Amino acid sequence: MKNLIVLSFLATLILTGCSKENLYNESASLADSTKITQVLEGKVITSMVDKKEKTMSTLYGNDIAVEHARNSVDHHYPIGSELSLVTWSQKEDIHWYGANIPGEIKSIEIVKYQAPDSAILEYYKGKNLHLGKRDFETAVKRIEFISGQRAAVLP
C-alpha cells in the first residue's frame, strides 16, 4: 500500500512536470539569471525567418521606436529609440505539425539611438546571453540591418 502511494505520488510528479513543459515554451524563454528581461516586453515591429539557418527572429522596439517604425518609411530613428532583435533556433511545434516555433535563444542584438544619427550595438549570445564583441565593421552592418527592417503591416 505504501509503495502504491509512493508510486502514485511519483506519477503525479512526472505528469505535472510534463504538463508544465507543455504549457510554456521554457526552452525559448530567457534564463532566470539574465538581466535583460525587458527586451521581450517590447512591442513587436516585425518578425523574420531564415529557412537555411533554421532560425527565427522577432524585432522588438520601445515605444519611441515602434511609433517611428509604424509611421515613417525612413529608418532615421529618433533619439531614445531602442530596437532589439531576438534570434532563436527553430523547433517543431509539438501541437501542430506544419509549424516551427522558437527553440533556444541564440542571440539578442540591441540597437540604441543615444545621439543624433548615432547608434550603438549591444550583442548578447547563447542561452546565457553573455555580452559578446562585434568588430566595428560588423557592428555597423548589424545596426544598418536592424534599423532597415520595415514594420509588419498591422491594420
Partner 1 sequence: MKRAKKNNLLIIAIILAVFTGIQFAGPNIKNLPVTTELSVPHDVRVILKRACYDCHSNETKLLWFDKIAPASWMVAKDITDARKVLNFSTWGSLAPADQKGKLFEAFNQISLGAMPLKQYSALHSEAKLTAGDISILKTYISSLVSVKTSDTSRINAANKQYNEWIGAKTRFVKVKPAPNGIEYIPDFRNWKAISTSDRFDNGTMRVMVANDIAIKAIKENHINPWPNGATFAKIAWEELIDSTGKVQTGEFKQVEFMIKDDKKYEKTAGWGWARWKGIQLAPYGKTETFTQECINCHKPVKDNDFVFTMPLHLKSK
Identify which of 104, 92, 103, 155 has the alpha carbon closest to the alpha carbon of residue 129. 104
3-class secondary structure, 48: strand
Measure the CA–CA gap between 37 and 44, rounded to whole angstroms.
15
Given its phi and psi angles, is residue 117 left (phi above 0), alpha (psi -120 to 50 degrees) or beta?
A: left
Residue 110 contacts residue 39 (beta carbons within 8 Å): yes
Toward partner 1, which CB reaches closer, 64 or 101?
A: 101
Of residues 104 through 143, those in contact with partner 1 by CB under 8 A are none
Residue 47 vs 118, nearer CB to partner 1 = 47
> Is the separation of the CB atoms in 45 and 152 below 8 Å?
yes
Q: How far is the CB of 67 from partner 1 (least distance, A)?
A: 11
- Residue of 12, 47, 128, 138 that binds partner 1 (CB under 8 A): 47
Among 99, 104, 127, 132, binds partner 1 (CB under 8 A): 99
**How many residues interact with partner 1 (rule CB under 8 A)?**
48
Is there binding between residue 96 and partner 1 (CB under 8 A)? yes
Binding-site string for partner 1 from residue 69 to residue 88, where x marks contact by CB under 8 A and - marks none: -xxxx---------------
User: For the CA atoms of the chain, what is the radius of gyration?
Assistant: 20
| Residues contributing to the site for partner 1 (CB under 8 A) | 19, 22-26, 28-30, 32, 37, 40-44, 46-53, 56, 58, 60, 70-73, 90, 93, 95-102, 149-155
